[in-house]
Amino acid sequence: MKVDGKNIRPIWFDTESQVVRIIDQRLLPHEFVITDLKTADDAIMAIKEMYVRGAPLIGVTGAYGVYLAALHSETEDKLIAECRRIKAARPTAVNLAWGVDKVLSEVLKKETFAEKIETARDRASEIAEFEAENCRKIGEHGLPLIQEISRRKNGKTVNILTHCNAGWLACIEYGTATAPMYAAYNKGIDIHVWVDETRPLNQGARLTAWELGKHGIEHTVITDNAGGHLMQHGMVDMVIVGTDRTTAAGDVANKIGTYLKALAAKDNNIPFYVALPSTTFDWTLKDGLRDIPIEERNPDEVRYVQGFDKGSVRNVLVPPKESPAANYAFDVTPARLVTGFITERGVCRANEQDIRRLFPSGS
Ligand code: MRU
């Protein structure tokens, strides 16, 4: 996507320097820093510390991680062990294991390490292109849903609520939840986006607001608790969120707080859509509540809030310094609260039969 007139992605392979480059998302929107990944440890650190985040991007970073691991592994056993470590960097987004396994299985077919390295790099780049294209198609398939609401409202503003950042920073290009928004905006439909700030790391306030603003899309940042009130007062026409892992039966793991938005949407008869590429389905799981691993992160992310002050990015402590905090990073929204999925193959309802109709072979 374009930032100040320049095309940029959240990750890319730089052919000149032969390194993987990423945008360090921890510092956005106040500082724009590009960092190099040179080893598997760099990739693991970037995923764990959330320099990169968002399910599809974590998957692509894992895929490039296999390339970085291959560069520094003397044996296949070592390479396989490194890939295991990369997959364990974050537990919830299924795209990570998918990306690593996809590249590793191709790499293991090659004889020499020179071939393995080249294959890993090329497959990782292909996965990045695949995810970009998936998101473009999600935009195409989501557009009619927004068009329909706009028609019903006689062209009046369509208000869309989103949670966290399921934008291009999380997904290479376009985003998942944001792709239909860009498609609608580019068609001249009047839209406005309510952006949940998304505590504790404020991916909505920092990243989604920044992305939408750069594209000229009207948006308003709200506290995480405001959505229910807005829905009760007719100020939300639809909700679109992303997901980190969705079961074959349609249960959705996404950023903590998503479930509460789904409940409020249901209570107010507001469509609640989840936009995702097929790489975010976990075809092995049915019961999301029971089976999806929920990441628990450092409680300091809850206790401290990051912001821009006197020319630099700083952290400040909010609760009493002795108070413990808990940091559950994701929750699961049961399929019964989801109106539909917007995928690269079209829109379907949140049940196994409909999902399998779009993805009969589970991929
Ligand atoms: O902890 P994060 O920032 O990696 O969480 C990201 C989300 O919850 C996104 O909504 C999800 O990955 C979908 S991204 C298309």
Q: Which tens digit of pLDDT belongs to each residue from 145-172? A: 999 999 999 999 999 999 999 999 999 9
Q: 215 pLDDT band (50/70/90 cuts)?
A: very high
What CATH number is attached to the domain comprising 251? 3.40.50.10470
The pair of three-digit structure tokens given for residue 328, joined into one six-digit string: 């559950």
| 54 in contact with ligand 1, CB cutoff 6 A | yes
Q: Please state the separation of Cα 152 from the chain's center in Å.
A: 30
Residue 193 lies in a domain: yes
Q: Which of 50, 174, 243 to mutate to test the pocket of ligand 1 (most atoms within 8 A of CB)?
A: 243
Domain end marker among 100, 130, 160: 130
Residue 363 lies in a domain: no
- Residue range 305-337, pLDDT digits in tens: 999 999 999 999 999 999 999 999 999 999 999
**Are residues 64 and 99 located together in one domain of the fold?**
yes
Q: Which positions are catalytic?
A: 244
Q: Is the pLDDT of residue 3 over 90?
A: no
**Are residues 219 and 343 located together in one domain of the fold?**
yes
Q: How far apart are CA 88 and CA 108, in angstroms?
A: 20
The residues near 45 (Cβ < 8 Å, ≥ 6 apart) are: 51
Q: 208 pLDDT band (50/70/90 cuts)?
A: very high
**Are residues 125 and 144 located together in one domain of the fold?**
no
| 329 in contact with ligand 1, CB cutoff 6 A | yes
Q: How far apart are CA 186 and CA 181, in angstroms?
A: 8
Q: Which of 245, 255, 306, 332 to mutate to test the pocket of ligand 1 (most atoms within 8 A of CB)?
A: 255
Domain end marker among 70, 95, 130: 130
- Residue range 244-291, pLDDT digits in tens: 999 999 999 999 999 999 999 999 999 999 999 999 999 999 999 999
**Are residues 194 and 262 located together in one domain of the fold?**
yes
pLDDT at 4: 82
* DSSP 8-state class, residue 36: E
Domain end marker among 96, 111, 130: 130
What CATH number is attached to the domain comprising 120? 1.20.120.420
> Radius of gyration (Cα) for the chain, nearest Å?
20
What pTM did the predictor assign? 0.97
Residue 279 lies in a domain: yes
**Are residues 153 and 113 located together in one domain of the fold?**
no
Residue 292 lies in a domain: yes
User: Could you please report the per-residue DSSP string of 191-213?
Assistant: EEEEEE--TTTTHIIIIIHHHHH
Q: Percentage of residues in the chain with pLDDT exceeding 70?
A: 100
Angle at the Cα of 265 from the Cα atoms of 260 and 269, rounded to 5 degrees:
155
Q: Percentage of residues in the chain with pLDDT exceeding 90?
A: 97
**Are residues 109 and 64 located together in one domain of the fold?**
yes
For 309, phi and psi rounded to 5 degrees?
Answer: -145, 130
Q: What is the mean pLDDT of residues 16-20?
A: 92
Question: Which structural domain range is residue 275 located in?
Answer: 139-358
Residue 320 lies in a domain: yes
